[in-house]
Amino acid sequence: MEKKKMGFAAGCKEFIRKRIVSLKHKPQTIPMIMLVVTYLYYSLHLTHISDTTAAINITPMGLCGFVSMLFPLLSLVCFMNAFPSRKPANKPMVILLFVMMVAVLAADVVYMMTIVQAVSGPTKTLTLYIGDHSKLDPMNQALKTLWVHGILVVISLALVALLPLYSKLIRKIKTSIDVEAGEEMAAISVSDD
């Protein structure tokens, strides 16, 4: 039983070591995963945004929804071109990536301001009957979705901006395997057979 625990612990340790080694070679995996999570979060909650756009139907809402859906997808393509494998970063693509993600953040803010203005602003465009709050539920869900999406976009931008810093820190992690004094390593044959 104790041998199985030791084997499981050693297996977990080896699994973590291999993941760190792969991160040393491709540290850009971390922001890439975050960009994908950000895009998927917005895509999976698009129903709330669509319902809110249908209920309020003010001009910038459709454009904001379009920008928030299209630009994250294009920013994934920019990210893959900005950080090619084992080559320096492509600076124009990095700049384009930042411009698109800032546009997504701005679209989220404009959309949230439009919802607030339509429900409680001086120029209310959405009239609710007393006791009928069925239209407010999708709007509240849309506001929550946009807040979380905005936070995810900021985290994604921070991970891309700080990539040079934490990639150096990841490279400093020791991942070599220590061979005990009594063990001998098998010779590796490099000759052609």
Q: What is the DSSP letter of 173?
A: S
- How distant is the alpha carbon of residue 146 from its chain centre? 14
User: Domain-by-domain residue ranges, the chain?
Assistant: 25-171
pLDDT in tens, 154-164: 999 999 999 98
Q: What pLDDT does 129 receive?
A: 46
The pTM assigned to this predicted structure is: 0.78
Q: What pLDDT does 121 receive?
A: 65
What is the arithmetic mean of pLDDT over 182-193? 53
Largest CA distance in the chain: 86
Query: Which architecture characterizes domain 25-171 according to CATH?
Result: Up-down Bundle (1.20)
Asked if 53 and 41 count as a contact pair (C-beta separation under 8 A), the reply is no
What is the arithmetic mean of pLDDT over 76-105? 91
Burial of 117 (0-12, 13-18, 19+ CB in 10 A): middle
pLDDT in tens, 97-136: 999 999 999 999 999 999 888 877 666 655 554 445 566 6
